[in-house]
Structure 1
Amino acid sequence: MTDLPSDTTLTETGLDLRGKENRLLLIACGALAREILALIKANGWTHIDLQCLPAKLHLYPDQIVTEVDRAVTRNQDSYSNIFVVYADCGTGGQLQAKCAELGVEMIEGPHCYSFFEGNAAFSERAEDEITAFYLTDFLVKQFDAFVWKPMGLDRHPELRDMLFGNYTKLIYQAQTHDPALVDKARTCAERLGLDFEHRFTGYGDLEQALHDQARKT
């Protein structure tokens, strides 16, 4: 038999030169990169790879479905399992339909604020927190790039009351214990003219979803 590279595996269909068996690819929003990498490291998931799409796709939800489709199609022959780490994220169910068409699973929930809180807990609070504006660790760090500037508040601060007039408080859903981020989040609330609440959520349903996928692969 011809000598084969050390990472070559034999499958029922022949030679697999990519060593794809029992490997999981996470296709995720770039805003979740730090949290996902932390979970991969903490759990020793050496069989999991991560590919992040630009976090700024959240500014254009219609593009999320297209980019996820491209990423899955490009990688589906190289992995035994692919999991999409996006919630609905403003796609109006289109992302779920596309994932079903592609034969891949995605994390449950309407958005990351929900699965960080825990989808069940977020749903229970939803009616009481209809006037809440949420930030995660990522969004606190990137507040100017993802909130202040895209909304034009850097050029027209007078828009603040029009854009946030129906909100009453800012809830910082913290994934980590970081006093500096709490202080920055409080400043974000002040800039928006909102009351402030700090709520430690950790990784919420994201952690369980990744555990489930890691066990499947």
Structure 2
Amino acid sequence: MTHAPSSIVYVVDDDSGMLESTQWLLESVGLTVRGYADGRQFLDAVDPDAAGCVVLDVRMPGLGGLNVQEEMQRQGLNLPIIFVSGHADVPIAVRAFKSGAFDFIEKPFNEQLLLDSVQQAMQDRRLSPQTTAGAPGTQALLDSLTPRERDVFLPLAQGYTSREIAEQLNVSVKTIDLYRGRVMKRLGADRLPDVTGLAIAAGLVNPLNLRETPSS
């Protein structure tokens, strides 16, 4: 923590009202924010050595969010991306996650949800910069799970708590915690969003329904 570069949240959105309100929200909790009205402007300005994350609108004139994501990968910009979209477009969300997106949030979004996602993304970047980007063979990783681990993997990816999974499978919470640790280790996942991303990439979970479950 002593000599880590200061983290920046880049917000890219062509809707000026949304851009401004998102900037205000993130700055209100002490984050350093830079806002851009289009993808090309962001790509020209982003610091290749920056720590932090990107809050990126999916649909924008010119370079859309997915194009920006592709360009970032081409340039080797390893910043976690939180996509925001006003359209419940499952194929786009799946494509974004398959390309390593950290999160996909529908507009209008709950402010706390965005703040939590940004904080998690920045912590994830500090702990394991390369976890989300292209681990070898999603299907091969999932095939390595035992049947019991698979039973825990899916509800875990959907956002259920250990207690809820224990009730579903009729075992103790301790047992679920044990399996949860084994699932994450086997998948090479340091954080829950990585588990969710793998499930979405494999087509096992609908990314737009993840947060319907009442967990906080």
Q: TM-score, normalised by structure 1?
A: 0.36
Kindly indicate which of the two structures has a greater share of residues assigned to helix. 2
Structure number having the greater strand percentage? 1
Rg larger for: 1
